[in-house]
Amino acid sequence: MSVAVQDVGGTRRVSVVGDLTDPADGQALLEALAGRGTGPLELTFYDARTLPGEVLEKLLGLRADAPPLKIYAYHGYLLHHLVRLGLPVLGMFPAGASPAAHEYAAVVLGGSADSLDKILAIVEALPPSQATVFIVQHILEDKPNYLDRLLRMRTEYAVEMPQHLTEIRPGSIYVAPPEHHMRVAHGRIYLTHDRKVNYARPSIEVLFESVAGEYKERCLGALLCGYGRDGVAGLAAIKAGGGCALIENSADCAARDLTDAAIAGGGFDHVLSLPELRCYVAAAVAGRNNQPSQQLIALLLEAVYSRYGYDYRNYQQGTVERRLANLYAKVAAEDFFALQREILTDPDAFEHLFLELSINITAFFRHPKQFKVLRERVLPYLDSFPHIKIWSAGCAAGEEAYSLAILLDELGMLHKSLIFATDINPYQLEEAKNGLYPMETLEEGRRNYAASGGQGRLEEWLTVEKGYVKIAPRLSQKMLFYPHSLAHDGPFNEFQLIVCRNVLIYFHPALQQRVMDLFSRSLHRDGFLMLGPSEETGPGGGARFFEPYAAAGKIYRWDGKGPH
Q: Sketch out the chain's domains with CATH numbers.
A: 2-91 (3.30.750.24), 106-282 (3.40.50.180), 289-356 (no CATH), 368-558 (3.40.50.150)
For residues 387 and 416, the answer to whether their CB atoms sit within 8 Å is yes
Question: How far lies 367's CA from each of 349, 358, 363, 449, 503, in Å?
Answer: 34, 20, 9, 10, 14
CA gap 339, 44 in Å, rounded? 29
Between 478 and 539, the higher pLDDT residue:
478
Mean pLDDT of all residues in 191-211: 95
Mean pLDDT of the chain: 92
pLDDT(454) > 90: yes
Q: In the predicted model, is pLDDT for residue 98 greater than 60? A: no
User: What is the arithmetic mean of pLDDT over 80-94?
Assistant: 87
Percent of the chain surpassing pLDDT 90: 73
What's at 376, amino acid-wise?
E
| Type of residue numbered 390 | I
pLDDT at 66: 64
pLDDT at residue 352 is higher than 90: no
CA gap 363, 268 in Å, rounded: 49
Checking if the pLDDT of 186 tops 80, the result is yes
* Rounded CA separation 281/271 (Å): 13
pTM above 0.75, yes or no: yes
Q: Is the pLDDT of residue 40 over 70?
A: yes
Q: Of 92-101, 158-167, 277-286, 378-387, where does mean pLDDT reach its minimum?
A: 92-101
pLDDT higher than threshold 90 for residue 306: yes
Describe the strand order of the beta sheet including 132-137 as a list of residue ranges: 158-160, 172-175, 132-137, 106-111, 219-223, 244-248, 270-272
Geometric angle at alpha carbon 138, from 268 and 198, rounded to 5°? 70
- At 347, is the pLDDT very low, low, confident or very high (cuts 50, 70, 90)? confident
- The tens digit of pLDDT for each residue in 363-409 reads 999 999 999 999 999 999 999 999 999 999 999 999 999 999 999 99
pLDDT of 174 above 80: yes
Could you report the per-residue pLDDT of 520-552, keeping only the tens digit for each? 999 999 999 999 998 988 777 788 889 999 988
Average pLDDT over residues 249-274: 96
Confidence at residue 91, expressed as pLDDT on a 0 to 100 scale:
87
